[in-house]
């Protein structure tokens, strides 16, 4: 390696075109997935106070938003539903006329080429706000698997392109893969929330999806934030069970986990730039403390640099504007 003064690293930083030519990581529109929330009703778009620029859409306005994504050439969306009513078993999650099922059919009818991913979990649909069946005050793993399978099949029947289980129950990827294969949906990929941490960064999402737990917390099934070796074991299990894409969630506080997963497994890796990460940037920008565009692009690039192949982010539409500006 040459040393100063023969080697001057600043030579290749001296102007933008040189910087472009030697840039190691490029954030692209092709990397983006835009999460959206859907509610019952008509002609509705309710802005989420903790997530400026994000909305709870009725199915008709969701279709309009989906057409906008397609026009922006964003590859896909992931959908989260808010039911008309909730109950202990989250029955609307797997009802053929449930809100997500209606939304998937409507989007695929209107914008067939837009990739539609569906979050598979029960927390938005249960009256207790937990991600599974409750017995004796605790979430029961195996009875929950049966409901997650029903939910996944209902999404597949509605036309979902990708099934994304986020519940963190043990064995759910294998159960869903087996059910999809047995029912003629062997070509539908599974994007598993494989390393989903019990994070404080989910706060604004709880408002958006109306899914806050009514007692306790989710630490008995979501991962403990200090752990990374455990995340690698979770990922290995999901690969063995048939996952096609592995997700790390959240992203920014877990860049090391993203990097380890990508390096050790060499599989497609998704990272979720979650609601709290988004809200912090928006709030600081609204107060004039930071430049939203520069900070958001820097953060998203760091996620890509860590090894993510795709990023779920509420900044997706803005990124298109910034990149094309």
State the CATH number of the domain containing residue 218.
3.20.20.70
Q: How far is CA 119 from CA 124, 161, 164, 219, 315, in A?
A: 10, 11, 5, 20, 19
Burial (0-12, 13-18, 19+ Cβ within 10 Å), 9 = exposed
**What three-state secondary structure class fits 52?**
coil
Cα–Cα distance for residue pair 94/303, rounded to 1 Å? 33
In contact, 117 and 79? CB cutoff 8 Å: yes
In contact, 77 and 34? CB cutoff 8 Å: yes
In this predicted structure, the answer to whether residue 219 has a pLDDT above a threshold of 80 is no
pLDDT bin (cut points 50, 70, 90) of residue 209 is low
- Domain assignment of residue 15, yes or no: no
- Domain assignment of residue 145, yes or no: yes
Residues 6+ apart with CB under 8 A from 126: 86, 87, 88, 89, 90, 134
Q: What is the mean pLDDT of residues 40-55?
A: 95
pTM higher than 0.85? yes
Q: In total, how many domains does the chain have?
A: 1
pLDDT value for 138 = 85
Residues 6+ apart with CB under 8 A from 282: 51, 52, 53, 292
For β-strands 32-39 and 45-47, DSSP reports them as unpaired
Residues facing 81 on adjacent strands: 38
Q: Which residue has the higher pLDDT, 315 or 87?
A: 315
Which residues are the active-site residues? 196, 249
Peptide bond into 41 cis (omega under 30): no
- The stretches of 216-315 forming alpha helices (DSSP H) are 229-241, 255-265, 275-286, 292-306
Q: How far is Cα of residue 118 from the mean position of the Cα atoms in its chain?
A: 9
| DSSP secondary structure letter of residue 48 | P
pLDDT value for 129 = 75
Cα–Cα distance for residue pair 316/286, rounded to 1 Å? 18
pLDDT bin (cut points 50, 70, 90) of residue 213 is low
- Domain assignment of residue 49, yes or no: yes
- Domain assignment of residue 305, yes or no: yes
In this predicted structure, the answer to whether residue 303 has a pLDDT above a threshold of 60 is yes
- Domain assignment of residue 286, yes or no: yes
- Domain assignment of residue 146, yes or no: yes
- Residue 159 belongs to domain spanning: 26-324
Digit-coded pLDDT (tens) for 97-117: 999 999 999 999 999 999 999
Q: How far is Cα of residue 55 from the mean position of the Cα atoms in its chain?
A: 16
pLDDT value for 41 = 97
Q: How far is Cα of residue 3 from the mean position of the Cα atoms in its chain?
A: 45
Q: What is the mean pLDDT of residues 173-185?
A: 98
Residues facing 271 on adjacent strands: 248, 311
Q: Which residue has the higher pLDDT, 133 or 69?
A: 69
Digit-coded pLDDT (tens) for 229-249: 999 999 999 999 999 999 999
- Domain assignment of residue 299, yes or no: yes
Digit-coded pLDDT (tens) for 4-42: 999 999 999 999 999 999 999 999 999 999 999 999 999
pLDDT value for 159 = 98
Q: What is the dihedral of CA 321, 280, 167, 115, to 10 degrees?
A: 0
- Domain assignment of residue 6, yes or no: no
Structure tokens, 140:
């029961």
In contact, 122 and 131? CB cutoff 8 Å: yes
Structure tokens, 215:
């007692």
């Amino acid at each position: 390696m040459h040393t100063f003064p023969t080697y001057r690293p600043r030579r290749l930083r001296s102007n933008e075109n040189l910087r472009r030519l030697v840039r190691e990581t490029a954030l692209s529109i092709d990397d983006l997935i835009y999460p959206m929330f859907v509610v019952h009703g008509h002609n509705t778009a309710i802005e989420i106070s903790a997530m400026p620029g994000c909305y709870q859409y009725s199915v008709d306005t969701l279709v309009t938003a989906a057409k906008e994504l397609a026009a922006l050439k964003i590859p896909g969306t992931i959908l989260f539903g808010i039911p008309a009513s909730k109950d202990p078993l989250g029955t609307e999650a797997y009802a053929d006329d449930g809100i997500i099922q209606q939304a998937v059919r409507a989007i695929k009818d209107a914008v067939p080429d837009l990739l539609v991913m569906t979050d598979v979990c029960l927390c938005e649909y249960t009256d207790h706000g937990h991600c599974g069946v409750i017995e004796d005050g605790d979430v029961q793993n195996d009875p929950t698997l049966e409901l997650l399978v029903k939910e996944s099949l209902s999404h597949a029947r509605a036309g979902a392109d990708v099934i994304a289980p986020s519940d963190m129950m043990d064995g759910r990827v294998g159960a869903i893969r087996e059910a999809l294969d047995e029912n003629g949906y062997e070509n539908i990929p599974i994007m598993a929330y494989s390393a989903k941490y019990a994070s404080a960064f989910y706060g604004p999402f709880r408002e958006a999806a109306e899914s806050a737990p009514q007692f306790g917390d989710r630490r008995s099934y979501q991962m403990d934030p200090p752990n990374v070796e455990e995340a690698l074991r979770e990922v290995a299990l999901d690969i063995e069970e048939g996952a096609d894409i592995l997700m790390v969630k959240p992203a920014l506080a877990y860049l090391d986990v993203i990097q380890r997963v990508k390096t050790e497994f060499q599989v497609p890796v998704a990272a979720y730039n979650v609601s709290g990460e988004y809200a912090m940037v928006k709030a600081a920008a609204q107060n004039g403390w930071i430049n939203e565009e520069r900070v958001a692009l820097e953060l998203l690039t760091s996620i890509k640099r860590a090894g993510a192949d795709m990023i779920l982010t509420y900044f997706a539409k803005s990124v298109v504007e910034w990149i094309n500006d």
